[in-house]
Structure 1
Amino acid sequence: MRRPRRLARLALWLAAPLALHTVARATTLDQAIAAAIGHAPEIVIADAEADAAGARLDQARSGRLPTATLTGTIGYGRLNPQNFFGLGAANVTPRAAQATIEQPLFSGGSVSAGIDQARAGVVSAAAQKVASRNQLITAAVEGYGNVLAAADMVDLYSRLVSETAEIERQARLRFRAGESPSTDVAQAAARLAEARAGLSRAQGAQVSAQAHFNNLTGLAPTDLEPLPANPELPATLEEAMDVASHSNPLLVQAEAGLRAAQAVKRGARAEGLPTIGAFAEASTVRDQFFPDYRADSATVGIRARWQLFSGGRISGKIAEAGSEERAAEARLRAARMQIGEQIVSTFQEVRTMLLVEQAASDQARAAGEALESIRHEVRVGLKPQLDLLDAEREAIATQANRARARTDRAVAAYRLLSLLGRH
């Protein structure tokens, strides 16, 4: 009986590290983006505004539907007809009720204009929702990359501090042994102080990057996977321009703004036209004019209204709407020019950052190889200590450039996706 129990305990003991590793998986970029979307109040605001725009569309559509109203009054009083019809004073409970159903038949176009305006608002709110989401994603990618770059910088400068401290120690030993001048000691001490200052700056930048990442995503800024390759992007600038012309949120909003302005103008013109509707009314009255008074009625008919003179109010609204329409057209042209320029710039930036990242990787690799060679040459006395210190500094700089270039490459790719209205 004891042997099976021991085997079971051994199996649990061996499985425990695997279970812990499964639970504590590293955070990926996609997970960070999803967390940012679920964490940010900007998305909640955009969702609420989109819902409000949908509610305004429902309100506008209701102008085509029938309405039903019910009104009633009841009171208590005393009537004194002064013996008119032989009626004397009496206490009464006057009450009345009326039910009305109306169906619009013709509104001069004001209802359809209001629906078009509200529909444009729905499109604009949806585009703003996409824009907010894309901006948040780009910010999350940049924050994710900054955390990784900051962690690399802290590691690099920590290693540099250790290596320069060792170099300074060896320089002091050689100086005491009379094998090197005091200049080597001073130079090594200066580089050690420089490395410590760089480490302090890197640690400060890491704290800021981690705080920003946590604020964006609500996640702990630790154990992040390396940045992945770029997402799928248009192969040519022409393809990118074509996609942006149909789905860029700023363009979609500008086009919706123009349609809304045109609808407002049609609605202003409709105020100068008649409105026609069908109605049905039923009413009942009790004790309204003298005791025991009773009256019931039912009416079906057509009701029309036409304002022939408004003192200039309608013409002023039409002029105002025309000015807003011209402004909306100008905003649309400006948006097209702005987005076109941004697409060209960002598309080229994506290609440039890919080349910069590759060049920075090659430079870092070459600097690392040079550092190893100089380290051996200094060890055997072929080169002075200062050359090793310079090589250490150059290697750190190239590795820092590589970390920064990796983040810049990813941010440029997601910024292009944001301009395309994707993500």
Structure 2
Amino acid sequence: MKTHLRARASTLVLAGALAAGSLTGITPAWAENLQDALVATYGSNPTLQAARAELRATDENVAQALSNWRPSASVTGTSQFSQSDNELRSGAGFANLTSSRDDRVSNSGTVSVRQNLFRGGRTVAETRQAKAQVAAGRAQLSGTEQEVLLAAVTAYMDVLRDAATVELNRNNVTVLQRQLEASQDRFDVGEITRTDVAQSEARLSRSQSALISAEAALTNSRAAYERIVGMAPGTLDASPALPPLPGTENEALDIAVTNNPALQAARFAEEASRHAISQAKGALLPTLTVEGDYTYADNPSSTVRNSESATVTGRLTIPLYQSGAVYSQVRQAKQLNSQSRLQIREALRQVEEGVASAWEAYRAANAQITSDREQVRANEIALDGVQQEAQVGSRTTLDVLDAEQELLDSRVALVTSERNAYVAAYQLLSAVGRLNAEYLGLPVERYEPTVNYDDVSGKWFGFGIEDDPDEIAPESGTDAASQL
């Protein structure tokens, strides 16, 4: 697709960008282009960082599933104090009475080891399900990355648009102030009536109100930019280059069917639900375990000083009937799989709709730019002609004011359509699944989800993590227990 946006943005937008800081009373401290904003967003946006942490948590599902292949071991220790008093009769007729007392402390320890040999295929199914969940989580992370980067692009272009709008309205106020002075001078010499002066005053008040509204919109846009990017906007580059876009709508759709992260996530979620069926069925199959116990007891009884025992047990458990609960779980898993399959179909329809909508929005925005530029050109000619006709008395003051307002409106519309075209282009990239750091060529250290996965999926010991919460962000500091 060809686009005139690649070459250069409107000088109106450039003027607005240069005023982005000064118009709100803030002096820009540094120059910034769209790539700088996207780099800052990629590295610091809390929404994106939270999604990465969520994926790292999902990685642990694989480690938990694989743990069923490994043995479990435990140590149990007991210490017991016992006291007994006994009276014994002996002799002829049990006439002799003797008493005895036994105070004893006995200690024992047991080491137990348990190893699963067969769990009805549930370990295999759980592992495959966990891996599918990780794949779905990675696709969801890609979707979050696209959403965050698109929000950054939108915030960047909103600041440019609103800054340019403020500059246009400020210039309009200046022009109308001068026109009011000229109208007053002409009224003083009797060339025009009081009505003409009142019309100029009314139009000036209107322009001042519009300027205040434009400045408020710019303040809001700057706040949104800071929230998403993580810093206040500096002097923004007014002509960010667009990345390569699909050449046709069909090409865009073909790319989206393969790359769109929402569709990928739905497919992997269906795979996970499919393995959940096998996992549920496994509860109907036999289980086989080997258990080993070693026990040492010190002073276990009055006649035994110490004892040792070791046992190895093979345990085969064959389920016969579990009150119908397992059968219900299998049916439930099948229904959830049906739901997942339908969600793939729904995701595909949403992708098709999103591509078509984004394509038409981009095409319409570019056509709007052409129309708005022609409108600006025509209004500039019209204003010049009305001003000349007003000097010879064939046009009224109101005609001039109306022509000036139409020119202002067309210039603001042009700024808005240029912003819309940029945003629509990135929305199209998002729809096809290419709005990411890799495709945009951002000079960042890219987040690699495989690093944490490889680190934790086979880990046998340890609860430490690389991305410690205290190093990422402070804790909330709340203590709910003290407030309840």
| 1:64 pairs with one of 69, 80, 85 | 69
What is the SS of the residue equivalent to 1:93?
Answer: strand
Output the CA distance in 1 between the equivalents of 2:259 and 2:70: 34
Output the CA distance in 1 between the equivalents of 2:115 and 2:246: 52
Q: CA deviation at 1:273?
A: 0.3
1:392 aligns with 2:420: no
Output the CA distance in 1 between the equivalents of 2:408 and 2:235: 22
- After superposition, the Cα gap between the structure-2 partners of 1:27 and 1:380, relative to the gap in structure 1 and judged at 3 Å, is farther
Number of the residue aligned with 1:352: 364
Q: Which amino acid aligns with 1:45?
A: A
Output the CA distance in 2 between the equivalents of 1:374 and 1:80: 123
Whether the aligned pair in 1 keeps the contact of 2:74 and 2:113 (CA below 8 Å) is yes
Q: Which amino acid aligns with 1:46?
A: A
| 2:287 pairs with one of 244, 258, 275 | 275
Q: CA deviation at 1:310?
A: 0.6
Higher helix share: 1
Q: Which amino acid aligns with 2:71?
A: P
Q: CA deviation at 1:376?
A: 4.6
1:248 aligns with 2:260: yes
In the TM superposition, 1:112-151 aligns within 5 A as 112-151=124-163
- After superposition, the Cα gap between the structure-2 partners of 1:167 and 1:39, relative to the gap in structure 1 and judged at 3 Å, is same
Q: Deviations over 1:129-181 (max 9, x none)?
A: 22222111111211111111111111111111111121121112112212223
Q: Which amino acid aligns with 2:53?
A: A
| 1:111 pairs with one of 101, 105, 123 | 123
Number of the residue aligned with 2:58: 53
What is the SS of the residue equivalent to 2:114?
Answer: strand
Q: CA deviation at 1:291?
A: 4.8
1:337 aligns with 2:349: yes
| 1:27 pairs with one of 18, 32, 40 | 32
1:261 aligns with 2:266: no
Output the CA distance in 1 between the equivalents of 2:60 and 2:193: 82
| 2:46 pairs with one of 20, 41, 46 | 41
Whether the aligned pair in 2 keeps the contact of 1:145 and 1:227 (CA below 8 Å) is no
Q: Which amino acid aligns with 1:285?
A: A
Output the CA distance in 2 between the equivalents of 1:212 and 1:74: 65
Q: Which amino acid aligns with 2:209?
A: A
TM-score normalised by length of structure 2: 0.76
Whether the aligned pair in 2 keeps the contact of 1:79 and 1:290 (CA below 8 Å) is no
Whether the aligned pair in 1 keeps the contact of 2:116 and 2:289 (CA below 8 Å) is yes
Output the CA distance in 2 between the equivalents of 1:392 and 1:418: 39
Whether the aligned pair in 2 keeps the contact of 1:149 and 1:403 (CA below 8 Å) is yes
Whether the aligned pair in 2 keeps the contact of 1:79 and 1:291 (CA below 8 Å) is no
Instruction: Compare 68-77 and 303-312 and name the one that shifted more.
Output: 68-77
In the TM superposition, 1:281-360 aligns within 5 A as 281-360=293-372
Q: CA deviation at 1:227?
A: 4.5
What is the SS of the residue equivalent to 1:276?
Answer: strand
Output the CA distance in 2 between the equivalents of 1:367 and 1:80: 116
Q: CA deviation at 1:233?
A: 1.7
Q: CA deviation at 1:348?
A: 2.0
Q: CA deviation at 1:288?
A: 2.4
Whether the aligned pair in 2 keeps the contact of 1:227 and 1:406 (CA below 8 Å) is no
Whether the aligned pair in 1 keeps the contact of 2:223 and 2:232 (CA below 8 Å) is no
In the TM superposition, 1:61-210 aligns within 5 A as 61-78=66-83, 89-210=101-222
RMSD: 2.5
Whether the aligned pair in 1 keeps the contact of 2:125 and 2:276 (CA below 8 Å) is yes
Q: Which amino acid aligns with 1:171?
A: S
Q: Deviations over 1:255-308 (max 9, x none)?
A: 122122212211111001011133443222222243534332333453221221
Output the CA distance in 2 between the equivalents of 1:268 and 1:26: 59
Identity level (%): 30
TM-score normalised by length of structure 1: 0.86
Whether the aligned pair in 2 keeps the contact of 1:107 and 1:274 (CA below 8 Å) is yes
Q: Deviations over 1:293-334 (max 9, x none)?
A: 433233345322122111111111111112211111121211
Between the two proteins, the alignment pairs up a number of residues equal to: 398
Q: CA deviation at 1:421?
A: 2.5
Q: Which runs of 5+ in 1 are unaligned?
A: 1-22
